[in-house]
């Protein structure tokens, strides 16, 4: 863990607010080595960022989740999204796990090490009792705003299809800020334009 990270991260991440920059060490499976990165490095390239916390390497539900992310690599690229998985394991543990677990053989995204728990604490997912992170998923827009958060207890895996749906909706709304996406919205479907004309008449606005 970069020793500057805890200094950089004061307070807590908040929905609709800018996320503080932070540095982190990773194992990069695509290159087979260790690297140093920061959140702003990705935002300055105009990317959306998904921070994907999970409890620990060499566990049970976790590899199925990371494999699910890896299966959607092409879709993330199409949407301009950088995925960063995070746990409190070391970068060395990430390397050993990725190389030994068959579920992870297609993982190419950065695997960040949060050994001090500073990043996990900042996002509100750190479990002090176990020293690990809950299953937290956070979407950060290219301007650094936190636009989505999901946190699960450790025995329930997440659905990456729903993550993709939320990303597609947020990408659409970034281009069309006057609109709103209803439940289960997918690209090509009708959106809402909030106004006094459709108060109490949302059904009609969507069915016309």
Q: What is the DSSP string of 58-102?
A: T-SSHHHHHHHHHHTHHHHHHHTEEEEEEESS-HHHHHHHHHH-G
| pLDDT at 179 > cutoff 70 | yes
Per-chain mean pLDDT for the chain: 96
| pLDDT at 15 > cutoff 60 | yes
Question: Which is more confidently placed, 39 or 7?
Answer: 39
| pLDDT at 195 > cutoff 60 | yes
Please state the domain extents for the chain. 5-175, 178-208
Alpha-carbon separation of residue 83 from 3, 14, 36, 66, 73 (angstroms): 23, 20, 15, 10, 9
Query: How confident is residue 10, by pLDDT bands cut at 50, 70 and 90?
Result: confident
What is the crossing angle of helices 160-175 and 62-71, to 10°? 50
Whole-prediction pTM value? 0.94
Which one is catalytic: 6, 62, 118, 181?
Answer: 62
Spatial neighbors of 127 by CB under 8 A, at least 6 apart, are 133, 134
Using one digit for the tens of pLDDT, what is the confidence trace for 26-69?
A: 999 999 999 999 999 999 999 999 999 999 999 999 999 999 99
pLDDT more than 90, % of the chain: 93
| Active-site residue, 62 included | yes
Using one digit for the tens of pLDDT, what is the confidence trace for 101-137?
A: 999 999 999 999 999 999 999 999 999 999 999 999 9
Contact by Cβ (8 Å): 111, 98: yes
Regarding beta strands 135-140 and 48-53, do their DSSP bridges make them parallel or antiparallel, or are they unpaired?
antiparallel
Q: Return d(Cα 101, Cα 105) in angstroms, integer.
A: 7
According to the model, what pLDDT value does residue 3 have? 53
Query: How confident is residue 7, by pLDDT bands cut at 50, 70 and 90?
Result: low
- CATH 3.40.1390.20: does it fit domain 5-175? no
7: left (phi over 0), alpha (psi -120 to 50) or beta: alpha
According to the model, what pLDDT value does residue 11 have? 87
Bridge partners, residue 27, by sequence: 34, 111
| pLDDT at 1 > cutoff 70 | no
Instruction: DSSP for 153-179, please give it.
Output: -TTS---HHHHHHHHHHHHHHHH-TT-
How crowded is residue 8: how many other Cβ atoms within 10 Å of its Cβ?
A: 16
According to the model, what pLDDT value does residue 207 have? 87
């Amino acid at each position: 863990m970069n020793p500057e990270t805890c200094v950089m991260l004061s307070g807590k991440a908040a929905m609709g607010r800018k996320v503080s920059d932070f540095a982190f060490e990773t194992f990069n499976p695509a290159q087979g080595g260790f690297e140093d990165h920061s959140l702003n490095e990705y935002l300055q390239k105009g990317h959306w960022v998904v921070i994907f916390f999970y409890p620990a390497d060499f566990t049970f539900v976790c590899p199925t989740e990371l494999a699910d992310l890896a299966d959607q690599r092409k879709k993330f690229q199409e949407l301009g999204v950088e995925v960063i998985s995070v746990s409190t394991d070391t970068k060395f543990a990430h390397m050993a796990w990725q190389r030994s677990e068959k579920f992870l053989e297609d993982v190419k995204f950065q695997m960040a090490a949060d050994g001090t728990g500073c990043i996990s604490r900042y996002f509100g997912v750190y479990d002090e009792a176990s020293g690990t992170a809950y299953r937290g998923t956070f979407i950060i827009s290219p301007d650094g705003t936190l636009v989505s958060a999901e946190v699960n207890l450790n025995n329930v895996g997440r659905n990456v299809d729903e993550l993709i749906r939320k990303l597609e909706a947020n990408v659409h709304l970034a281009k069309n800020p006057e609109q709103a996406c209803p439940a289960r919205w997918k690209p090509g479907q009708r959106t809402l334009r909030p106004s006094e004309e459709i108060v109490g008449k949302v059904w009609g606005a969507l069915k016309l």
